């Protein structure tokens, strides 16, 4: 089985533009999850969280150093910059939320 991987060695930050629609007075905490070849099980990933205010597009920059490993593989291995999957999720209590992502990119500071 072949997987497509994005090799991110020269990049240090994940950049994306999310929009969330829910109650406008409550900020939302979201999680972004990256899966690499080190992820041994379905629930294994490298995760980072961010806070977004509902009702508008936001620029989010997450350094790869902010991603922590969860599950078999990532919990014992350092982040490897070969990403197979990327997901933005809302974890927590049930609520009506619209979450959209306009662009995902990577950048470096060199």
Kindly report which listed range (21-30, 36-45, 96-105) carries the lowest average pLDDT score: 21-30
Question: What's the sign of the alpha-carbon dihedral 90, 19, 46, 41?
Answer: positive
Boundaries of domain holding 20? 6-107
The pLDDT score that the predictor gives to residue 10 is 52
Quick check: is 47 in a domain? yes
Domain count, the chain: 1
What is d(CA 98, CA 39) in angstroms, rounded to the nearest whole number? 28
Q: Give the mean pLDDT of 56-82.
A: 84
pTM of the model: 0.74
Q: Give the mean pLDDT of 3-13.
A: 59
Quick check: is 11 in a domain? yes
Q: Is 109 helix (H, G, I), strand (E, B) or coil?
A: coil
Quick check: is 1 in a domain? no
Quick check: is 29 in a domain? yes
| pLDDT-based confidence at residue 100 (cuts at 50, 70, 90) | confident
Q: Give the mean pLDDT of 98-103.
A: 78
């Amino acid at each position: 089985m072949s997987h497509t991987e994005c090799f991110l060695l020269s990049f240090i930050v994940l950049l994306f533009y999310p929009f969330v629609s829910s109650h406008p007075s409550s900020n939302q905490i979201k999680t972004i999850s990256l899966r690499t070849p080190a992820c041994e099980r379905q629930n294994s990933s490298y995760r980072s969280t961010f806070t977004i205010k509902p009702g508008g597009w936001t620029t989010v920059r997450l350094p790869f150093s902010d991603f922590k490993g969860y599950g078999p593989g990532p919990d014992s291995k350092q982040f490897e910059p070969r990403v197979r999957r990327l997901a933005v999720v809302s974890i927590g209590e049930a609520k009506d939320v619209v979450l959209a992502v306009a662009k995902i990119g990577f950048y470096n500071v060199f």
